[in-house]
Amino acid sequence: EAQVTQNPRYLITVTGKKLTVTCSQNMNHEYMSWYRQDPGLGLRQIYYSMNVEVTDKGDVPEGYKVSRKEKRNFPLILESPSPNQTSLYFCASSLGPGTSPFFGPGTRLTVL
């Protein structure tokens, strides 16, 4: 079954404690992306990756890091989380730009 998986699905943490949200796809997609969704703001792109070892900033990259060492995985790293990073995070993958993306189920993060 074609899918994008994210882990964990829910996470409550404290300010400054490093965390990683994993994203994995099984469709051999080259393009992957991370978004955060906040009430009244819709989805905002954090980072995207066009292929292995190729990443670039989206609209709200501050406080986040990503890596793309393998085609299937695109983890989102928060080195020192802060309360303003409390949000719902979505990972997405697609064959390429403009093609239909598959979204993951979302990860709800709360930073206290």
Identity at 65, one-letter amino acid code: K
69 vs 98, beta carbon nearer other proteins: 98
**Which pairing describes strands 31-38 and 10-13: parallel, antiparallel, or unpaired?**
unpaired
Q: Which is nearer to other proteins, 66 or 92 (CB)?
A: 92
In 10 A of CB 36, how many CB atoms?
A: 23
Q: How far is the CB of 76 from other proteins (least distance, A)?
A: 16
Q: Which is nearer to other proteins, 48 or 74 (CB)?
A: 48
Q: Report in angstroms how near the CB of residue 106 gets to other proteins at its nearest.
A: 8
Q: Which residues bind other proteins (CB under 8 A)?
A: 31, 33, 35, 40-45, 48, 50, 56, 58-59, 90, 92, 96-98, 100-106
CB of 87 to other proteins, least distance (A): 14
β-strands 87-94, 102-103: how paired? antiparallel
Tell the smallest beta-carbon distance from residue 71 to other proteins (Å).
16
DSSP string computed for 50-78? EETTEEEE-S--TT-EE--SSSSB--EEE
Which of 91, 89, 65 has the alpha carbon at shortest distance from 79? 65
The residue (of 16 and 96) whose beta carbon lies closer to other proteins is 96
